[in-house]
Amino acid sequence: MKTLNIEVEGMNCGGCVNKITGHFQSIDNIEEIKVNLEDQKVLIIGSDDLSNMKVRNDLIELGFSVKSIKKA
């Protein structure tokens, strides 16, 4: 399993949380997603073949800025 800690800018309401959560829950190789609005962080746990670049690009397409992605 792979765990990604992602710093995201642009999340400002529950709608943003739902948008991110809904999108990533629909991806097969993602087991768990947690969005922390207050800390502006997203935690994604998925299979080892989960692409950091795909996660980053998906967040950008959803309208958010990605400050960093760190493997835990």
Burial class (CB in 10 A: 0-12, 13-18, 19+), 8: buried
d(CA 36, CA 38): 6
> Under CATH, which architecture does the 2-71 domain have?
2-Layer Sandwich (3.30)
Mean pLDDT along residues 9-17: 95
The residue extents of the domains of the chain are: 2-71
Q: Mind listing the pLDDT tens digit for each residue in 14-61?
A: 999 999 999 999 999 999 999 999 999 999 999 999 999 999 999 999
Which of 30, 63, 54 lies closest to 44, judged by CA?
Answer: 30
